[in-house]
Structure 1
């Protein structure tokens, strides 16, 4: 049985999605967005009726700044627990999303541009929960499972609900069409994650960038 999902899209030199889910025990937020557009995130939370004390869990799909930028603030202001995979802990511990990056030329270019624009650093924090592959999120009111999808980053994960919604972070993007992400840290791991994705029963994909889409749309474009 599906639950209500709010898509909160932040816009600042790019667009990034945060997804707010209402469960029987409170709200769960998937990804915390960019700190420079915190007002857009909080406006979306207010519109859904989510205030301080209502947000039970923030699930971070990976450690990049456009997905974790408000995590420390949400912990302090809303009292939310923050969860992420340990593979990306070095990013939030150091405040540098490129720490230990193995990425190639494209990642290097992005790193240079973001540092030049003062966008590569963000507020450090310590997660409350470390996510693992296969972890059940029902104790937080969400009938969903964590799936480890490394490649875009070492600690990238998705959240797969019991009814087939996949919140995939940056595993896939939907800018002009549903497709693979070109910004990856480890190609072999990423390719393996894409193959693993095909084995799951997924109905709708909620990407970090771009509009939600049906999984069959991605499958059709990659046959």
Structure 2
């Protein structure tokens, strides 16, 4: 197969949230789906690249946070493509359990109180459900690479590794100020929430050692392998942060102004 093109789809301004489209010769894989209501932005990106909803052969959800899985159910309807995800986050995809968050920064609790991270989305059951440390060959969907379990950000985090040397890692790493933001875009940092930084560091280091050269993520990026290596090393001395639930912290019930920017 030829080298696929990777299209970054902005969901919120300044690189704060985005998802990705991997376009190969015979397939088009959508990696993450943005916040609820993002299908219009994704449709525009498809059209700009000469594609439509029905050209999407597979939807990969990297983890169950609302800015990654928020439009998954609706996009499955529109594209007819199956959803791939990991069983570690299944309770949250099916909305059977309240998600909790291990904060990685001092401002994490304030972000949770805004209500943005806990915005509800339509429940769904993945069509392809990875178990344990499984990986999944994407060649049947027109892409030369694999999706595999890379836990640490959440228990069910998934990454896509392409033979081109590109890795799409969801929230295993972020960059820039203000969630991707306007400064230090090439500097790796932790995302707002992270269950197990040591596990994240091990997964990132493993990808660098395996030859991944460019890392694409949901907030900021892309990042070069050496910057990811530096960041992975820094995570090895860290322990989990304090865990919060949305109800316990008294989050806002309505969409914040941050979300309304993108509407």
Q: Secondary structure at the match of 1:5?
A: strand
Between 1:200-209 and 1:1-10, the stretch displaced more is 1-10
Question: Gaps spanning 5+ residues in structure 1: where?
Answer: none
CA distance in 2, matches of 1:147, 1:158: 6
Displacement after TM superposition at 1:108 (Å): 7.2
Which protein shows a greater Rg?
Answer: 2
For residues 47-91 of structure 1, the C-alpha deviation after alignment (integer angstroms, 9 at most, x for no partner) is 122213211101111111101111111111121111111111111
> What is the distance in 2 between the residues matched to 1:41 and 1:73?
12
Distance 2:198 2:48 in 1: 41
Q: Given the superposition, is the C-alpha separation of residues 85 and 110 from structure 1 closer, same or farther in structure 2, using an over 3 Å criterion?
A: farther
Match of 1:127 in 2: 126
Counting only pairs closer than 5 Å after superposition, residues 73-88 of structure 1 correspond to structure 2 as 73-88=74-89
**Count of residues in correspondence between the two structures:** 220
CA distance in 1: counterparts of 2:18 and 2:113, whole angstroms = 22
* Structure 1 residues 36 and 52, CA gap change in structure 2 (3 angstroms): closer
Matched, 1:212 2:222: yes
Higher RCO (C-alpha 8 Å, min separation 6): 2
- Give the conservation status (yes or no) of the 8 Å contact 1:111–1:120: no
Partner of 1:193: 203
Partner of 2:163: 162
Contact 1:131 1:146 in 2 (8 A): no
Q: What pairs up with 1:13-52 in 2 under 5 angstroms? A: 15-52=16-53
User: Residue 113 of structure 1 aligns with which residue?
Assistant: 113
Q: In structure 1, how many angstroms separate the alpha carbons of the residues matched to 2:221 and 2:90?
A: 28
Q: TM-score, normalised by structure 2?
A: 0.73
C-alpha spacing 1:22/1:118, structure 2 compared with 1 (3 Å): closer
The correspondence of residues 135-150 of structure 1 with structure 2, limited to 5 A, is: 135-150=136-151
2: distance between equivalents of 1:181 and 1:105? 7
Q: Alignment partner of 2:195: what SS?
A: coil
Structure (1 or 2) with the greater strand fraction? 1
How much has 1:197 moved relative to structure 2? 3.5
TM-score (norm 1): 0.85
Change (3 A) 1:195 1:94: same
Distance 1:52 1:138 in 2: 20
Residues 155, 108 of structure 1: CA spacing in aligned structure 2 closer, same or farther, 3 A cutoff?
same
Query: Is contact 2:59-2:84 (8 Å) kept?
Result: yes
